[in-house]
Structure 1
Amino acid sequence: MFQNNSIDFDLLKKRAYNLRWATVPQGVIPLTAADPDFKSAPEIAEAISKFAKDRYFCYTPPEGLPEFKESIATYFQERRNVPVQPEFAFPVDSAAFGIYLTCKAFLSIGDEAIIFDPVDFLFRYSIENVGGKAIPFAIPAGTHDLDFTELEKLITKRTKMICLCNPLNPTGKVFTKGELTKLGEIACKYNLIILSDEIWSDIIFKPAVFTSIASINEQIRNQTITITGFSKSYGLAGLRIGAVIAHNQNHFNLLMDVSLHNSTVHGATVLSQVAATAALNECGYYLDNFVTHLTKIRSLIVTELNSIPGFNCVAPEGCYVAFTNITKTNKTSQEIYELLLKEAKVAVVPGLKQWFGEGAEGHIRMSFASSEEVIMEAMNRIKTVIK
């Protein structure tokens, strides 16, 4: 299922956009956007096909299909130890929109929200697009102990939210239960909303253990909005489906009001909800096998990267991205990106502020959700250029 011969490269070159196979020049290996090269589980396609054969594509309830809401609640109750009520979970057209929606619901013009640095650009983008200000809290790759004193110093009268990305893209850090407890206590102390992006939470490498911050206690849970998606775990990026979970009625009402779902201006498609429901209910075996494969590839790519002069990669605890320090090459992230693209025919993501914040400079990020053959070919190409 996760072998090189199971990848249809011809189809990827036609369909895989967003910096991937369909957008790079011929012959370039894209280790860019974090989407898998592998096909989704067959049960997902079968569920979509079965639904489509009836030829009725009606509106769903504004708050989502009941079976989708039940599958989300069951998943979080059984695998995350979070007592989610189905009525408080609803589909959105991506986890990215879930982040924006939460910012829109809880931030006003001039409000501040703390984000990690480095972190995916969508947090800053969402905060700034609703008129807020993103305040960075540095968590460099390899950080084991967070300085919560420094975090607390960032809180002002304008602070309304802490944005938690766990596991942390791009460094792959998985936060410990102790760290999350302390972060949650700070949020409660200052009455801050915790925006918890957990889209990567299925991609965890032992011995790391994922903890959902909403599982810690009721007080912290009531400050939390949980966001998840299905692109990283099940390859459903193009179906644009995620979920937003409130943990009390007031938060749910506010999120639904600003979502525009009730007006039919916005919402997740019926087929995407059918697909996500099938993923959660029937495709656990697929995810388990995927993580087993990724564990092997993580070991391979980290070893290879650390054998390249001037490269240093801390093995990620979660996420299938390798965040590599390239400062000892005496080149910038942009220069390494351009060199690898031109000379090695390998596309990576440079550690620029526009992608991950200022803390990403001196790094490049590579997705390794592909076959062993693809990753080894990419590493061999890089080694011919970086000597």
Structure 2
Amino acid sequence: MFDPTNINLDILKKRAFNLRWATVPEGVIPLTAADPDFPSAPEIAEAIIRFTKDRYLSYGPPAGLPEFKESVARFFQEKRQVPANPAWLFPVDSAAFGIYLICKTFLKPGDEAIIFDPVDFLFRYSTETVGARAVTFPIPAGPMPVDFDRLESLVTTNTKMICLCNPLNPTGKVFTREELLKFGEIAVKNNLIILSDEIWSDIIYTPNVFTSIASLNEEIRNQTITVTGYSKSYGLAGLRIGAVMASNAAHYDLLFQASLHQSTIHGANVLSQVAALTALNECDDYLKGFVSHLQQMRDLTVAAFNDTPGFQCYLPEGCYVAFANITGTGKSSAEIRDILFNEGKVAIVPGLKEWFGDGAEGHIRLSFATSREILEEGLYRIKNTMGLI
């Protein structure tokens, strides 16, 4: 499934947008947005075809197809040890919207939410869009321990939420059970909502282990709203499908009311729900093969970065992005982006505040969810280009 013959560049150049093949000049290799170059599992396409052949594409239930809700709940029960209730979760049209929805539901103007730095821009964007203030908590790349004393010092009477991104995009950190307990204890002590973004939780490299914070104990679970999605694991970004899960009826009611699903203004389409439930129910072998391939590509990428002049990179524990420190080059993240794009014909994501926060400067992010051949060529271009400046 994950050999180069399964990548159709002609199709990618027509369909893969968001900084990828359809948006770069001919000859440029885009190792940018975290979206795989491989096609999704055949079971997913077959399920969509079966559903559509009857030609009835009617409205679905506002709270989601029952079989979708049951599949997501069963996943959390069996694979994340979370006693999920299908009545307290519903589909959303992306994990990105789920993050925004949780902020919209539990934050108001003047509130504060603690977000990591660096982290995906969606946390700051969602917090600030609803009128709250994003307070940054540094978690740099690498093995340094989390500074929980500093975290507690950031909590004020205005703090209402901690935004947990686990695994952490862009650094690939996977939080340990002990670290998650500390996050949970601080949240419970201060009555903070925990927004737990777990979209990357399937992409974990041995010997690391993923833990859902909602699995730790009932007190922590009751403070937690979990959001996840299926684009990273199964290549479904264009279908825009995720899920939001509460741990009690009160939180669920608030979320569902804020979602506007009951009004038909928002909602996840039925084909996306069919795709996601099929992924959860039938595509374990696909996912296992994908993660196995990704671990090899991770090792290849990090070794190549650490052999490139001015670059230094830690092994990501999860995600399929590598976050390389480029301060040894003496150039900024934006300068490295431009050099690699213009001279090396490789597109990467620079560590700019607009993408990941202030803590990302001096770094670049590269997605390695592609074939060995494409990745090796991209890494060769990077190393060769950096060796010439």
Q: Tell me whether the two structures share a fold, i.e. TM-score over 0.5.
A: yes
TM-score (normalizing by structure 2)? 0.99
CA distance in 2, matches of 1:137, 1:251: 26
Residue 387 of structure 2 corresponds to residue 361 of structure 1: no
CA distance in 2, matches of 1:122, 1:381: 31
CA distance in 2, matches of 1:91, 1:291: 25
Quote the residue 1:241 is aligned against.
241
Please tell me the residue identity of whatever aligns with 1:350.
P
Quote the residue 2:141 is aligned against.
141
Quote the residue 2:120 is aligned against.
120
Structure 1: 4+ residue segments shifted above 2 A:
none
Q: Matched residue of 2:24: which SS?
A: coil
CA distance in 1, matches of 2:170, 2:66: 34
Residue 57 of structure 2 corresponds to residue 57 of structure 1: yes
Q: Matched residue of 1:22: which SS?
A: helix
Residue 219 of structure 2 corresponds to residue 216 of structure 1: no
Q: Matched residue of 1:386: which SS?
A: helix
Please tell me the residue identity of whatever aligns with 2:40.
S
Quote the residue 2:165 is aligned against.
165
CA distance in 2, matches of 1:152, 1:25: 47
Structure 2 residue runs without a partner (length 5+): none
CA distance in 1, matches of 2:18, 2:64: 27
CA distance in 2, matches of 1:7, 1:375: 12
CA distance in 2, matches of 1:76, 1:36: 24
Quote the residue 1:229 is aligned against.
229
CA distance in 2, matches of 1:380, 1:119: 28
CA distance in 2, matches of 1:36, 1:6: 12
Instruction: Give matches, 1:195-344, under 5 Å.
Output: 195-344=195-344
CA distance in 1, matches of 2:257, 2:181: 30
CA distance in 1, matches of 2:24, 2:87: 43
State the Cα deviation string for residues 123-171 of structure 1 (Å, max 9, x = none): 0000000001000000000043111000000000100000000000000
CA distance in 2, matches of 1:320, 1:123: 19
Structure 1 residue runs without a partner (length 5+): none
Q: Matched residue of 1:149: which SS?
A: helix
Q: Matched residue of 1:334: which SS?
A: helix
Quote the residue 1:27 is aligned against.
27
CA distance in 2, matches of 1:73, 1:258: 21
Quote the residue 2:381 is aligned against.
381
What is the RMSD of the two structures over their aligned residues, measured on CA atoms?
0.5
Residue 36 of structure 2 corresponds to residue 36 of structure 1: yes
Q: Matched residue of 2:50: which SS?
A: helix
Residue 101 of structure 2 corresponds to residue 101 of structure 1: yes
Q: Matched residue of 2:286: which SS?
A: helix
Q: Matched residue of 2:119: which SS?
A: coil
CA distance in 2, matches of 1:49, 1:55: 10
Please tell me the residue identity of whatever aligns with 2:71.
S
State the Cα deviation string for residues 56-109 of structure 1 (Å, max 9, x = none): 111111110000000000000000000000011100000000000000000000
Please tell me the residue identity of whatever aligns with 1:306.
N
CA distance in 1, matches of 2:213, 2:144: 18
CA distance in 1, matches of 2:383, 2:277: 43
Work out the number of aligned pairs and report it.
Answer: 387
Quote the residue 2:152 is aligned against.
152
Please tell me the residue identity of whatever aligns with 1:116.
F
